[in-house]
Structure 1
Amino acid sequence: MTIKYKVIERGQPGVVGGGEKKFYANTISNGELTLEKLTKRIAQNSTVGGADIRAVLYAMVEVMQDALDEGSIVRLGDLGSLRVSISSNGETSKDEVNTQSIKNAKTIFTPGKELKKMLKNLEYEKVE
């Protein structure tokens, strides 16, 4: 499968007026795989029914949320892992850093070996 991309122009972040503008490749999505479609594909490739697959996937999301909320890394075998990352304001001293310094949190996904291998072997096509 080929990943399609288009060219976009971006200015320098944090520079008034955008500063020096440069051109970058930006991927073009080719639809989406919803939970319903994912369930159907898994059911086609296994002996497990769609209702059971959905139940497991929804339960997995709840268990993963609980684990991430507790500060755990969620390891998903060959798929990869998820962990919480935070960003904060820079303070002038160590003692000034507190919960109010934290700006936001996000989930970081680190792909497993097979996904990393797939990413290295992608082909690209420029779309005008």
Structure 2
Amino acid sequence: MLKYKLVSRANPRKRNEKQFYAQLTGVQTIKRCDFLSLLEKRSSMSSADVKSFLDALEFELMHRLANGISIRLGDLGSFRATIRSVGAVNKKDYDQRKYIKGVNVRFRPSAKWMREKSKTGELISFETVGKA
């Protein structure tokens, strides 16, 4: 369940008007060892096998992303690298050390996941918490 609160923000089109937006709250992080235990329970693999697989998955994801390769993981979705940069006045002055500010990894859920899971409430449900 995704818990959210309503927050008041300025309307981007009319700055003097406020609108209410949903903002996630109470996002929790699961530790790797706990996640491995969950995966072990849902598969026929031992904890060592699950750890080995996850190690390989992490290594290959990072290696492929660092080489500009997008990774599609079936019905889950895909990962791709993007870069953050600032503009230069002209091409000849462009120095990547100065203008490229960093790398991000973007995740895009598959169309099937978005269609079948998030819209039906089968996987995702929402709860309002707090006050705006």
Query: Smaller-chain TM-score range?
Result: 0.7 to 0.9
Task: Give CA deviations for 1:51-104 in whole Å, capped at 9, x if unaligned.
Answer: 110111012101111111111112222221111111221233344444122122
Note closer, same or farther for the CA distance 1:123–1:47 as it changes in structure 2 (3 Å cut).
closer
For residues 51 and 127 of structure 1, the distance between their equivalents in structure 2, rounded to whole angstroms, comes to 39
> What stretches of structure 1 of length at least 5 have no aligned partner?
14-18
**Residue of 42, 53, 58 corresponding to 1:56:** 53
Tell me, yes or no, if structure 1 residue 4 matches structure 2 residue 3. Answer: yes
Please provide the CA RMSD for this pair: 2.5
Task: Give CA deviations for 1:18-65 in whole Å, capped at 9, x if unaligned.
Answer: x65653210123533332222222221221111110111012101111
- Segments ≥4 residues shifted beyond 6 Å: none
For residues 94 and 50 of structure 1, the distance between their equivalents in structure 2, rounded to whole angstroms, comes to 52
Larger displacement relative to structure 2 (23-32 or 66-75): 23-32
Relative to the length of structure 2, the TM-score reads: 0.75
Match of 1:73 in 2: 70
More helix by share: 1
For residues 28 and 70 of structure 2, the distance between their equivalents in structure 1, rounded to whole angstroms, comes to 29
Which residue identity lines up with residue 81 of structure 1 in the other structure? S
Identity %: 29
For residues 19 and 102 of structure 2, the distance between their equivalents in structure 1, rounded to whole angstroms, comes to 29
Relative to the length of structure 1, the TM-score reads: 0.76
Aligned residues: 122
Which residue identity lines up with residue 102 of structure 2 in the other structure? N
Which residue identity lines up with residue 105 of structure 2 in the other structure? T
* Residue 110 of structure 1, CA deviation: 1.0
**Residue of 31, 41, 44 corresponding to 2:41:** 44
Which residue identity lines up with residue 112 of structure 1 in the other structure? S
